[in-house]
Structure 1
Amino acid sequence: MSDALINGLAGAGGGIIAQLITYPLLTVNTRQQTERDVKRQKRKHGTIEQMCQNEGWGRLYSGLAPSVVGTACSQGVYYYFYQVFRDRAEAIAREQKMNGIGDGSVGMLSSLVVAALAGVVPAATMHHVHPSQSGTNVLLTNPIWVVVTRMQTHRKNSKKSQLSHSSIAPAEKVLDPIEPHPYGTGHATQELYDEAGIWGFWKGVFPTLIMVSNPSIQFMLYETMLKKLKTKCVLVKQGDTGVSALEIFLLGALAKLGATVVTYPLLVVKSRLLAKQITTGDKRHHYEGTLDAILKMIRYEGFHGFYKGMSMKIVQSVLAAAVLFMIKEELVRVLHFC
């Protein structure tokens, strides 16, 4: 197998494992990002406790199946193209060294360009991106992430919440209906289509396309730190450039931390657009598009609204990126021996 294919398969495998480990945190973070009810925000209980008490632990895994499929596709394609461009960049660097230019390694700016191209080219040629993780595959996989967000933010009616809603005589009680079936992929897809038609599956695509900067920043930081670490290993370990799995884990965590802090406001806007729109007449809860969402968030919530749930997102994304990088590198080593 070629290096690009090996990295693509390893990236898909690492992405799936990271997604399985951190998915409950991702669901909670999506709930936090899309929360606009002031009364709910002031409750004593946290988002996780509310979900588990009122809806059950299973709600933490809502949308897991389509999310795993989307992650495998986006990460696999991204790492495939990333390795293709990385190999080309390294070849150019070696040629430049032979001509007396540079040291033969790929610099920080080149790493940024490689990561950006890995996100942009597949989107332009294959028409598909995971909006919160990479810039690849935007147009084709956007419907998957809209459905996943709907499933994560869907609030299930419970018997406990029904009883708390009623304070009138039993004969006059009007209870919210208990969902006869779990809110699955089919339900979310049909609801979205009924609400906005076929174009509803491409909600939030504009901020998603801009999110290509997230993996670009992440890989620029990762490759730069990895290069310095390998240089240090050569000096300390007498020529051995091997990097341990723990060191890869920490590098991946630091790189994702930097990228998340910079791009988080865009992620909040995207989640707001993908979640079910509230049509109760309160204009604060209904967004016509990206610009409308940004302006209303500034007006009604202030700039701090763009950073809701950021602490949870940092934990989730940093842990997921660290696990992904570590698993991917280990899978690459295994696949090279196959």
Structure 2
Amino acid sequence: MSSAIVNGMAGAGGGIIAQIITYPLQTVNTRQQTERVAKDSIQSPAGSTFVHIFQVIRNEGFGGLYSGLKPSLLGTAASQGIYYSFYQAFKNKAEAIARENKRKGKGDGSPGMLSWLVVAALAGSVNVLLTNPIWVLVTRMQTHTQAEKKITEAKREALLKAASENVLSQSLLSDQLAALDSMKPRPYGTFQAACEVYNESGVAGFWKGIIPTLIMVCNPSIQFMIYESLLKRLRSKRSANKQGSVNVTALEFFLVGAVAKLGATVCTYPLLVVKSRLQAKQEIGGNISLRYSGTLDAIVKMIRYEGLRSFYKGMSTKIVQSVFAASVLFMVKEELVKTYALLSNKRPKNILKTLK
């Protein structure tokens, strides 16, 4: 089995485990990102991650924290599998070019930071184009209850306003408010989400947010640049100190992955918020000034109506979720690669060599 396929399968396995562990935080973070609050309004202090978690549990039960988990797991398996397969294939090519350059007297035989950026960007672009429809559905399912609540509130406000202007009688108001309160939540699964997206925007709707998502490719690019650079430095240091094995432990993969993801998340978080806003149901908030026709429109309206801080909503939650998820993913993925090599009767000291 080729190294690209091995790394792709290991990446998918690591991604699924990390996703299951951190999914509640991801759900809460998506809701935080898509919540529209005017910059002039007084925000509730109930904005912490734990408060959001308890609110979801109280209103929707524990199942609310796992809304959209099934398509998310499918998306994670597909996304990580595709990403790591192409990443390893491009990485093999970059390392072959570096070795060839060394024979010509250029460089030390290993790819530089720019090479890692290009490799990660190419793999990320392929992954985004193929898996964006899945993540559109996941975002819809994570924010559906929030969107329905906003729509109901907007209808209630419209009825009360009509009654105050004597357009609606008190008896009719009472009947309509009672009907509104008696409405039960509609079943909302993957199929319903897909139909909603298609009815709103056609096939193109499944690629909503593709521009900021493609730009977001710089997130894993930065992440893998930091990751590969730190691993290279760690191995070089061990080799220079003659510590024997240059293999990296599971804990070290975990820590290096955490540092890499932290740096990437801080740099690219505003784009993640814009992407989530575009992929969420646009009726949310009930205000046309907070509905977006595209990436630029979203950025302009967010600055105008909510201020610059709207680009950093839920960032603390995202840092905890993404850093921990990336750490688990890297650790599990590398251990799975090692396990495959051992099961294939390859000695541990030759693992890294044989999988390049």
Is TM more than 0.5 here? yes
* CA deviation map 1:137-156 (0-9, x unaligned): x2332221111101101117
Specify which of 286, 295, 306 is matched with residue 291 of structure 2: 286
* Aligned mates of 2:33, 2:78 — CA distance in 1: 25
Higher mean alpha-carbon deviation, 98-107 vs 245-254, is at 98-107
Return the structure number with greater helix share: 2
Name 1:217's counterpart in structure 2: 222
* Aligned mates of 1:83, 1:8 — CA distance in 2: 8
Q: Does 1:8 align with 2:3?
A: no
Higher Rg of the two aligned structures: 2
Quickly say closer, same or farther: Cα 1:41–1:193, change in 2 above 3 A. farther
Return the offset for 1:195: 2.5
Specify which of 94, 108, 111 is matched with residue 106 of structure 1: 111
3-state SS of the aligned residue for 1:190? helix
Mapped contact 2:28–2:52 kept (Cα < 8 A): yes
The CA RMSD over aligned residues, in Å, is 2.6
3-state SS of the aligned residue for 2:282? coil
3-state SS of the aligned residue for 1:90? helix
* Aligned mates of 1:328, 1:279 — CA distance in 2: 38
Specify which of 191, 194, 203 is matched with residue 196 of structure 2: 191
Specify which of 309, 313, 318 is matched with residue 313 of structure 1: 318
Q: Does 1:154 align with 2:159?
A: no
Return the offset for 1:232: 1.7
Alignment of 1:75-224 (within 5 A): 75-120=80-125, 123=126, 136=127, 138-155=128-145, 172=175, 174=178, 175-179=180-184, 182-224=187-229
Mapped contact 2:37–2:306 kept (Cα < 8 A): no
Return the offset for 1:63: 0.5
Name 1:260's counterpart in structure 2: 265
Return the offset for 1:237: 5.1
Mapped contact 2:290–2:302 kept (Cα < 8 A): no
Q: Does 1:42 align with 2:47?
A: no
* Aligned mates of 2:8, 2:247 — CA distance in 1: 21
Return the offset for 1:44: 3.4
* CA deviation map 1:170-222 (0-9, x unaligned): x8551434536642112222222222333222211111111111111110000
Mapped contact 1:233–1:242 kept (Cα < 8 A): no
* Aligned mates of 1:280, 1:194 — CA distance in 2: 20
Return the offset for 1:4: 1.0
Mapped contact 1:207–1:270 kept (Cα < 8 A): yes
* Aligned mates of 2:338, 2:203 — CA distance in 1: 43
Return the offset for 1:238: 2.6
3-state SS of the aligned residue for 1:100? coil
Q: Does 1:63 align with 2:65?
A: no
Quickly say closer, same or farther: Cα 1:40–1:51, change in 2 above 3 A. farther
* Aligned mates of 1:16, 1:96 — CA distance in 2: 38
Q: Does 1:328 align with 2:333?
A: yes
Higher mean alpha-carbon deviation, 249-258 vs 41-50, is at 41-50
Quickly say closer, same or farther: Cα 1:208–1:254, change in 2 above 3 A. same
Higher mean alpha-carbon deviation, 277-286 vs 95-104, is at 277-286
* Aligned mates of 1:43, 1:103 — CA distance in 2: 54
* Aligned mates of 2:70, 2:286 — CA distance in 1: 34
Specify which of 56, 73, 85 is matched with residue 78 of structure 2: 73
Gaps of 5+ in 1: 124-135
* Aligned mates of 2:114, 2:193 — CA distance in 1: 42
Gaps of 5+ in 2: 157-169, 345-356
Higher mean alpha-carbon deviation, 213-222 vs 46-55, is at 46-55
Quickly say closer, same or farther: Cα 1:180–1:93, change in 2 above 3 A. closer
Return the offset for 1:41: 4.1
If asked which structure has higher relative contact order (CA below 8 Å, sep 6+), I would say: 2
Quickly say closer, same or farther: Cα 1:290–1:177, change in 2 above 3 A. farther
Return the offset for 1:93: 1.9
Identity %: 64
Return the offset for 1:285: 2.1
3-state SS of the aligned residue for 1:154? helix
